Structure 1
């Protein structure tokens, strides 16, 4: 063995350790980005638990119940962030926060040029969702029933949903669906396709569309619970409307993630909620 061999081994070990440390720091930074959204979900869960009788035999303090309910979400977020941190850069997808931790590149100056398009796409997605929901109400009676029965009772109650909409919806859902799921699907599709120059447009669009449908399907349990509480049957038309409306947003935010960045997708998601909240406010004020 030459004298250079130990030095080479040490250099390789150092690089491996540094790479692992970078992965951990990048994962931790993106996970921390989602913590406020998890906290917003916790506040919503706490309100629901205060207003709902506990099952017989359950006698735990409210903070402990809330914390227990958030553990699965936090673990899922951690897994999604770790998966995205590994897959996204390899698939040509990016996050400014990830790049800031990895290479020290500035976040705001990198994001600034993406903001107009991100806001525009998000607002357009919000308008499309509102328009499609109006059409669905004309075609599916259960949709109209759900809209009437499920309206937020007051402006104050609607405004109270803003942290959940912007912090959980705009940030956590993007970390889960775009950074985690889209990155994984695109990376796996690219590797399975066997091309060495990066994922093709077809592979990327397949990942975006699959994640968008998963996003829509993921809202079905909430739909089922809400419809059941209001005495409205979860008909195929109502189910299709729920999947479609959420998939519209998923495609728009997935496109922003692909063409711009994770943070652009977050901005677009938040902008779509501006439209949704604005329409709800106008319907209550006028």
Structure 2
């Protein structure tokens, strides 16, 4: 079930990938369609490993996907599914508002990233939000956090067990993966901006770090499903809502500190 969701998320990323390819400064030896298809095939292989190894690591340290497990015949989680999803989505929406507010300050100082945001469509951003919510959470939380916790247990010479997991080990894993999650956005940013400046690095960590910590905590306490709900909702508010706000401002100019589109100069 998780792998099927990952494949769907990878397919939903295709429109946004095509946009990035067309916006990149790097010459391509193949057509954008072939490059996008190759990216999907790469994701199909990658997430087969991510889901398989991630579930093994999560089970070893008492984490995992409790609602998917319940559908597969496991015990019912303590918190009802609707309650967990609502809680995750509410926190994700708040995180999305934080991201939008931060970028309203930062993007005017990053002209190339601002122009990319202007060129992306609401449909592209909505579709890509499924990849962010599903695939990035499976990679960084199910595999990443679980794997780091398992490695900490291995390094401390304590045999990993389903329960209990030391809180310090989980928090260490959450913070480590939050930093890596922020840094993981830099290659795509560099392809658009041409180089990584101090401000771009700060933006990657300041925007992605807090959201990653929130999703890590949700994964720990309520399962990967709650983390996915939070990440997806944050992306919808930030990428879809933020883009709609930017497009509205370009038409009506109610945020005076934002530079106008290049075609207006």
SS in 1 for 2:45: helix
CA contact (8 A) 1:122 1:267 kept: yes
Q: CA deviation at 1:76?
A: 1.8
Counterpart of 1:18 in structure 2 is none
Deviation by residue 1:223-267 (Cα, 9 ceiling, x = unmatched):
111112xxxx53112212112211121111111111111110011
**Structure (1 or 2) with the larger CA radius of gyration:** 1
Counterpart of 2:233 in structure 1 is 271
Partners of 2:117 and 2:178 in 1: CA distance: 25
Q: CA deviation at 1:119?
A: 1.6
TM-score between the two structures when normalised by the length of structure 1: 0.74
Counterpart of 1:123 in structure 2 is 93
Counterpart of 1:99 in structure 2 is 69
Unpaired segments ≥5 residues, structure 2 = 250-265
The reply to whether residue 204 of structure 1 matches residue 170 of structure 2 is yes
RMSD: 3.0
Partners of 1:243 and 1:51 in 2: CA distance: 23
Q: CA deviation at 1:113?
A: 1.9
Q: CA deviation at 1:47?
A: 5.7
The reply to whether residue 183 of structure 1 matches residue 146 of structure 2 is yes
Counterpart of 1:24 in structure 2 is none
Partners of 1:64 and 1:218 in 2: CA distance: 24
Q: CA deviation at 1:106?
A: 6.5
Partners of 1:242 and 1:76 in 2: CA distance: 24
CA contact (8 A) 2:55 2:64 kept: no
2:204 is aligned, of 242, 246, 262, to 242
Q: Go from structure 1 to structure 2 and tell me whether the alpha carbon gap of 1:262 and 1:176 turns closer, same or farther (over 3 Å shift).
A: same
2:126 is aligned, of 162, 180, 183, to 162
Q: CA deviation at 1:275?
A: 2.0
Partners of 2:246 and 2:109 in 1: CA distance: 20
Q: CA deviation at 1:125?
A: 1.4
CA contact (8 A) 2:141 2:219 kept: yes
Structure of greater relative contact order (alpha carbons < 8 Å, 6+ residues apart):
2
Counterpart of 1:172 in structure 2 is 135
Partners of 2:55 and 2:73 in 1: CA distance: 14
Partners of 2:167 and 2:13 in 1: CA distance: 35
SS in 2 for 1:161: helix
SS in 2 for 1:151: helix
Q: Go from structure 1 to structure 2 and tell me whether the alpha carbon gap of 1:264 and 1:275 turns closer, same or farther (over 3 Å shift).
A: same
Q: Go from structure 1 to structure 2 and tell me whether the alpha carbon gap of 1:265 and 1:51 turns closer, same or farther (over 3 Å shift).
A: closer
CA contact (8 A) 2:133 2:228 kept: yes
Q: CA deviation at 1:31?
A: 0.9
Q: CA deviation at 1:54?
A: 10
2:155 is aligned, of 174, 183, 192, to 192
After superposing on structure 2, the runs of 4+ consecutive aligned residues of structure 1 that deviate more than 6 Å are: 50-54
Partners of 1:54 and 1:222 in 2: CA distance: 12
Counterpart of 1:113 in structure 2 is 83
Alignment map for 1:128-143 (pairs within 5 Å): 128-136=98-106, 142-143=109-110
Unpaired segments ≥5 residues, structure 1 = 1-28
